[in-house]
Structure 1
Amino acid sequence: MARPNLKGLFPVAAAFIAFILTLLCLFAGTQRNLLDGADILTLYTPEGGSNSGVHEFYSIHVMSYCQGILDTVEPGAPGSARNVTQCSDRQILFSFDPTNAWSEAITHGPTLEWPRVISDDFHAFRLTTQAMAVMYCVGVSAVGAVLLVRVSSFISRRMQQGPFEFGFFVLGSLSMSIASIIATVVAFEFVALINAHGDGSNVSASYGTKFLGMSWAAAGLLLAGSIVSLVNLIRRPHVESPPDEEGLEKLEG
């Protein structure tokens, strides 16, 4: 019984899993109950509520943001549960701007005690978050191309698709690595910046571990797939096309 070619199966398996993870990173939070907990960061405004016009938290994703209230859990249990009430429309070049989400009367009112410098922080990171979204789109497109190349190689077995597969693997790996690095910087540095500027006010932030885990898992799978694809490309034997009938007659003569 022939043993399965694990080196040949690993790249396509890694690409498929990375493709799913990248799609989840892109579309998380674009609808209610669609991985709304897998956010890049969450902005908390504890003094928000129905009377102030501000929600108690805003979870920021790649292409949208969700808002809601914090529900109290059972007595004695730590923390609170998030209840998402609404998510914004998805946009590829999305960037969260609190001054657009809330009216000026709220951001400058006494209820929220909103530090204006935090709005400047979001504005400063606008191009960075948009570039991150573009990298995720490039990454998912490259991984999709890897899967299409593998399907085409099964359909037409004589065509050598190894170089194309490796090239798309490298493109996807680089794109996802850059996107993950940007997401990590935003998650850690930006959250620390918000907490520092919001110290003494009613504003705080926390980063999302689920999103970063999915993003780096996809980047790691694509890197491993690129290495295995390169090894397969180097070790692949050269397949010569069979000689035609005229050539055979000359050899026999």
Structure 2
Amino acid sequence: MIDLKSFFPTITAFIAFIITLCCLFAGTQKNLLDNVNLLTLYTPEGSSPSPYFTTTTTTTSPAHTFYSVHIMSYCQGTLGPLPPGATDLYGTRNVTACSNRTILFAFDPTAAWPKEVTHGPALEWPRVISDDFHAFRMTSRAMAVLYIIGVGTMGTVLLVKGVEVATRKKQYGVFEFGFLVLGSLSISIASIIATALAFEFVALINAHGDGSGVTARYGDKFLGMTWASTGLLILGSLVSFNNVFAQAPAAPAPSKDEEEG
């Protein structure tokens, strides 16, 4: 009979593995979970007073109206018109392209924007925002490394469980617990960093972009997914600890001689 309790940590690790992979690879290709982003940078398109009703870019204003920042890449595009009765002031997102996937990615808005826009008369680019992204560059890269470590540890948990099932040996439980704890720590720290960037960094960009039309918005879907993964790993670690260390061993069945005596 299958012991569901012993498989519960593996199930949580598997679900967290899938969720974290989605967070990690979101935005690495066009239309690949491009709405699951850490934050989005919105920019006015040239002389247009608002980016909210733009449908296409122009030759006089080649900048895109939004840049969606992910863990290993960024996507860019334009904002479509607001549908009647819409409550979202940012309209429909039309992703046009995504950058190449890079493990140690750090978004540089000055490099992403065309030079004629960031240094031309069409927009007074707030250089302090570039400085903000530069200051958080190492933090963003450390977060990416933590997510990769978390994915690796979760994959190892699944591998350990597979070996345990194949060999029918229970001593692999302690390894499962150890990798679950390591995965929980790495994803928890990465989620904390992502949350700090999402709230504090976005507030900083909005403050420094005031008056230039540059705004930012944090990705609520990304935060929900990364914290869901964190919760699953912590829960799996607790159950694994109980399975390995806290659960009392079953009493051995009495022998035939003891029963007759």
TM over 0.5: yes
**Preserved contact between residue 112 and residue 202 of structure 1 (Cα < 8 Å):** no
For residue 56 of structure 1, the aligned residue among 58, 62, 65 is 65
Paired residues for 1:5-16 under 5 Å: 5-16=3-14
Distance 1:199 1:14, change over 3 A: same
For residue 119 of structure 1, the aligned residue among 130, 134, 141 is 130
Give how far 1:44 is off.
0.2
Where does residue 36 of structure 2 map in the other structure? 38
Where does residue 73 of structure 1 map in the other structure? 82
Structure 1 regions of 5+ residues with no counterpart? 241-253
**Preserved contact between residue 195 and residue 203 of structure 1 (Cα < 8 Å):** yes
**Preserved contact between residue 104 and residue 141 of structure 2 (Cα < 8 Å):** yes
**RMSD in angstroms over aligned alpha carbons?**
1.8
Where does residue 29 of structure 1 map in the other structure? 27
Give how far 1:53 is off.
1.5
Amino acid in structure 1 at the alignment position of 2:42: Y
**Preserved contact between residue 96 and residue 122 of structure 1 (Cα < 8 Å):** yes
Give how far 1:202 is off.
1.4
Amino acid in structure 2 at the alignment position of 1:82: R
Q: Does the alignment pair 1:150 with 2:161?
A: yes
Secondary structure of the 1:84 match is: strand
TM-score with structure 1 setting the length: 0.90
Q: Percent identity?
A: 64
Where does residue 147 of structure 2 map in the other structure? 136
Q: Distance in 2 between matches of 1:237 and 1:50?
A: 72
**Preserved contact between residue 170 and residue 226 of structure 1 (Cα < 8 Å):** yes
TM-score with structure 2 setting the length: 0.87
Where does residue 96 of structure 2 map in the other structure? 85
Q: Does the alignment pair 1:237 with 2:249?
A: yes
Structure 2 regions of 5+ residues with no counterpart? 47-56, 253-261
Amino acid in structure 2 at the alignment position of 1:155: A
Q: Distance in 2 between matches of 1:70 and 1:239?
A: 67
Give how far 1:239 is off.
11
Distance 1:69 1:18, change over 3 A: same
Give how far 1:157 is off.
1.0
Distance 1:236 1:50, change over 3 A: farther
Where does residue 246 of structure 1 map in the other structure? none
Secondary structure of the 2:41 match is: strand
Amino acid in structure 1 at the alignment position of 2:249: P
Secondary structure of the 2:24 match is: helix
Secondary structure of the 1:188 match is: helix
